[in-house]
Amino acid sequence: METIPLVQASLGEQELAAVAEVFASGWPAGQGPWGKALEAELAERYGVGDAVALSNCGAALHLSLLTLGVAPGDEVIVADYTFPAPAHAVRYVGAEPVFADVRADTGTIDPRAVAELVGPRTVGVIAVDTVGLPADYTELRAITDRHGLFLVEDAACAVGATYQGRQAGELAPLACLSFHGRKGATSGEGGALLAADPAHGATARFRASFGIGSIFDQSRVVGLPVPVFEEIGYNYKLSDIAAAILRVQLGRIGELLERRRAVAARYEELLADEELLTVPWVPEDRTHAWQSYMVKLDPSVDREGVAADLRAQGIGCGHGTWACHLQPVYESKRSCPVSADLFHRNLAVPMHAELTADQVERTVEVLRGALRAHARPRGGRRVG
C-alpha cells in the first residue's frame, strides 16, 4: 500500500550541489559568506531595510520583541489559533500574551477582537498568517497606529503568499519567516527576521551571535581582536549550510508554490459537493501559500475516527494547529470560542509540492469513506 505523507520537503540535486560548495569553502558555521548572501537576497526580495538569517522563526519572534523593548509587565496581543510560538516569545521576555480570537472563515486574527483587547498595558500585536493565509493588515495597522502599538507579522507559513498585492513578510515593520521542513521554502530548520528599519536588523543580528557580532568577520581582521561581552546574547545563527540550501529554495519558490496551488485547486474541485466538511476559503484580496490544507469537519463527524481511518490507509493527516488559550502552559481565563471550535474540528490532509494527482484523488476517496463511517446519525439514520 502506497503511503501519502502529510508533508514532504522538495529537496534535490541543486540543494546538494550548494551544500558541497559550502563544504569546500571550509566555513559551514553561521554568518559566513552564504549567510550574508542569503540575507542580501532576502532584503532585496522583500524590499526591507535589513534581513537577518536565523536558526528558526521562534528565534526571530524572540529577537523582534527584544528589539522593540518589550519588558515584564507589558501585554502583547497575539493570535490564538496558531502554533504557540508567538505566545512563547512574549513569555521569553517576561511579558504577558493576551489571546485574540480569530475569524471563522479564514482562521486569521480577528481585528475586532484585537480592538476590544487593547488596554493600558498593551504595547503591541503579533498577527499570524495562519497556515499560509495573510491576516487583515489594513485593519490591524489602523488599530495599532491609532493606539501607538507595534505590529509584528508572523509569516512563518506564508512565504509566497500575498495581501493586496504585497508579499507576506513585508506587511508589518517587523516580520518573521520560517524555513522549517514543511514550509514552502526549507532548509530543514531555519528562519529570518525582516526589518523595515536597518537599525532593528543590526540589533537583532548582534544579539543572534551571543552579543559579540560575527565571528567570521572578526576572523578576517588583521591582528587579534578580542570580543567583549557587554550584554546577554543568544546562539540564533543560521548555518551557512542551511543558508546555501535556502538560496536554492528561494529561487524555486515560484515553481514549488505553483505546485501547491494546483494541489489545493484539485482538493477544492473534488470536495466541492461534500456536505460533511468545508474547504478553505481565500478572500479575493490575498493569496495563500498553502503550507497546510485544512478542512473543517461537520460537527456530526468524529475527527479522531476519520484520522484513524486515513492513517490505516497510509494517508498522513493532523489536527491542524492549536487554540493557544486552551494549552495548560498558559492557563488563560480568556475565551476564544471560534479558535476553540477550529481546534476541535479542523483536519489537515496531505499538502506539499511532491503530491501527484493520483495521490490527491486517493486521499479524497478515502476521506469521503471515512467521513460517512464516522458521522453520527441524523434523524435516526446514519449519514451516507
CA separation, residue 282 to residues 159, 163, 175, 289 (Å): 16, 11, 21, 11
154 sits in which H/E element: strand 150-154
In angstroms, the CA 62 to CA 57 distance is 9
Hey, what's the cell of 20?
558541497
Q: Which residues of 176-188 are buried (b: 16+ CB within 10 A; e: fewer)?
A: bbbbbeebbbbbe
In angstroms, the CA 44 to CA 360 distance is 36
Q: Which residues of 349-375 are buried (b: 16+ CB within 10 A; e: fewer)?
A: bbbbbbbeeebbebbbebbbebbeebb
In angstroms, the CA 334 to CA 275 distance is 32
Radius of gyration over every alpha carbon of the chain, rounded to an integer in angstroms = 22
- Residue 157 phi, psi dihedral angles, 5° rounding: -100, 0
Q: Report the Cα 264 to chain-centroid distance in Å.
A: 18
Per the residue annotation, which of 183, 237, 296, 333 is the catalytic one? 183
Three-state DSSP at 295 gives strand
Q: Can you point out the beta strands (E) in 244-336?
A: 277-278, 286-287, 293-297
Catalytic annotation on 333? no
Active site positions, annotated: 183
